[in-house]
Amino acid sequence: MAKMMYRDAVRNTIFQEMKRDDSVVVLGEDVVGGMGTDGGPEAIGGIWSTSTGLFAEFGADRVIDTPISESAIVGAAGGLALSGKRPIAELMFADFIGVSLDQIWNQIAKFRYMFGGKSRCPAIIRMVYGAGYNAAAQHSQSPHAILTGMPGLKVVMPTTPADVAGLLRQAIRTDDPVIFMEHKALYGVQGEVPDDPDFTIPFGHARLTRAGEDVTIVATGMMVGMAEQAADTLAEDGIGADVIDLRSTSPLDEEAILDSVEVTGRLVVVDEAPPRCSLATDIAALVAEKAFASLKAPVQMVTAPHTPIPFARELESAYLPNPDKVEAAVRKALSYN
């Protein structure tokens, strides 16, 4: 086991997989950084430092710095993938799916189906999502629900450095397009990462991070830490919570959610995105459909409000879920007998 940051787990995993498999290539804006400047290639090495050193090791044909052209980046990843490569494309901010949506939605997500199952599109679109930096409405969003709703895509949202390593390696070795969502507020988080160069985590397997019998709390990404904090506070009052980190939203580990709710009878879903047609509503509907008889209380959703993301510090913190809101939702669920 090596201790490393979330962002280093991204870079190390890509590095190891590029070494192992020549068909893995990286592309995106400033993934090299410094191209066409006096400072030269690798002057920066990726604005999130998730690609530093790759260019020096693998060269310009495999570490492709692109112009600001998200449609072309995602589309090219599709073309590379259909041609036998394993591209890892980077969108610097998940918000920029807006620019490349056709290539994600109508192209890479649908190739296999439209072509009668005869093609493979092992493309990864890595994107940096989430709020917490007062980066306002166009640089803070969590568009996982939109992407989860697109058949043909797998959507992965790691929370810990170990999960980054296991899930990203899995994504690179997967033959379908994968949306790999990295939360910008988690990049500096430290954790142990297994040394095994073949360490993978299959998609669709949630991680139970706290165990308890009174309530089930489901979360992803930065919301997992909030759920855990709330669970720890509640434990002081003798309230036990299962905290489930989904790890991927497509495929979704339905069993983990349903099994837990069957025991606890109470569900709180924590989601960083606005509430309508969201991950929170999706999970609430799943439980209403398949575990209705187990429920002792209405499902509680802790989400952002139905608004774009505001800029000012006070506004962004009011916008985001937090441990207090999760705790209150749990207490509300417990208030039903």
Partner 1 sequence: MQLSREDLLGAYRRMKTIRDFEELLHEEIATGEIAGFTHLYCGQEAVAVGVCEHLSDDDKIVSTHRGHGHCLAKGCDVTGMMKEIWGSREGLCKGKGGSMHIADTDKGMLGANGIVGAGAPIAVGAAMAAKLDGKDKDGKLKVAIAFSGDGACNQGTTFEAMNMAVVTNAPAIFVFENNHYSEHTGYKYAVGTSRDIASRAEAFGMKVWRADGTDFSAVHDTMREVLEHVRAGNGPAAVEFDTERFYGHFEGDPQRYRGKGEMDRIRSERDCIKNFRRTVTEAKLLEGSDLDRVDEEVAKTIADAVAAARAADRPTAEDVLTDVYIDY
- Catalytic site residues? 139
**Among 3, 110, 91, CA closest to 47:** 91
Rounded CA-CA distance 28/241 in Å is 41
CB of 3 to ligand TPP, least distance (A): 31
Q: Looking at beta carbons, which residue is closest to ligand TPP? A: 96
Which of the stretches 91-99, 108-116, 242-250, 305-313 binds ligand TPP when contact is defined by CB under 6 A? 91-99
Check residue 30 for interaction with partner 1 (CB under 8 A).
yes
Check residue 48 for interaction with ligand TPP (CB under 6 A).
no
Phi and psi for 130 in degrees, rounded to 5? 100, 160
Residue 155 in contact with residue 170, Cβ under 8 Å? no
Q: Quickly count: other Cβ atoms within 10 Å of residue 36's Cβ.
A: 8
Check residue 67 for interaction with partner 1 (CB under 8 A).
yes
> Looking only at residues 286 through 315 of this chain, which bind partner 1 when binding is defined by CB under 8 A?
305-308, 310-315
CB of 311 to partner 1, least distance (A): 3
Rounded CA-CA distance 138/131 in Å is 10
Check residue 33 for interaction with partner 1 (CB under 8 A).
yes
Which residue in 4, 64, 76, 92 binds ligand TPP (CB under 6 A)?
92
Rounded CA-CA distance 304/314 in Å is 14
Residue 44 in contact with residue 225, Cβ under 8 Å? no
Q: Say which residues have a Cβ less than 8 Å from residue 139's Cβ, sequence separation at least 6.
A: 93, 95, 133
Q: Say which residues have a Cβ less than 8 Å from residue 153's Cβ, sequence separation at least 6.
A: 104, 108, 109, 147, 176, 177, 178, 179, 250
- Per rule CB under 6 A, count of chain residues that contact ligand TPP: 6
DSSP 3-state of 248 = strand
CB of 305 to partner 1, least distance (A): 6
Which of the stretches 129-137, 203-211, 252-260, 279-287 binds partner 1 when contact is defined by CB under 8 A? 129-137
Check residue 96 for interaction with ligand TPP (CB under 6 A).
yes
Which of the stretches 30-38, 113-121, 167-175, 197-205 binds partner 1 when contact is defined by CB under 8 A? 30-38
**Among 206, 132, 161, 203, CA closest to 6:** 161
Could you tell me the sign of the dihedral formed by the alpha carbons of 319, 321, 327, 328, in that order? positive
Check residue 136 for interaction with ligand TPP (CB under 6 A).
no
Check residue 29 for interaction with ligand TPP (CB under 6 A).
yes
Q: Which does 115 bind (CB under 5 to 8 A by kind): ligand TPP, partner 1, none?
A: none
| E runs forming strands in the chain | 2-5, 24-29, 63-66, 86-91, 124-129, 154-156, 178-183, 190-193, 207-210, 215-219, 241-245, 248-250, 267-271, 300-303
With tokens 């209405």, the residue in question is 298
CB of 94 to partner 1, least distance (A): 12
Residue 270: both structure tokens together: 């924590």
Q: Which is nearer to ligand TPP, 72 or 99 (CB)?
A: 99
CB of 40 to ligand TPP, least distance (A): 19
CB of 331 to partner 1, least distance (A): 20
> Looking only at residues 97 through 126 of this chain, which bind partner 1 when binding is defined by CB under 8 A?
98-99
Binding site for partner 1 (CB under 8 A): 29-30, 33-40, 43-44, 47, 65, 67-72, 95-96, 98-99, 133-139, 305-308, 310-315, 318-319
Binding site for ligand TPP (CB under 6 A): 29, 68, 70, 92, 96, 99
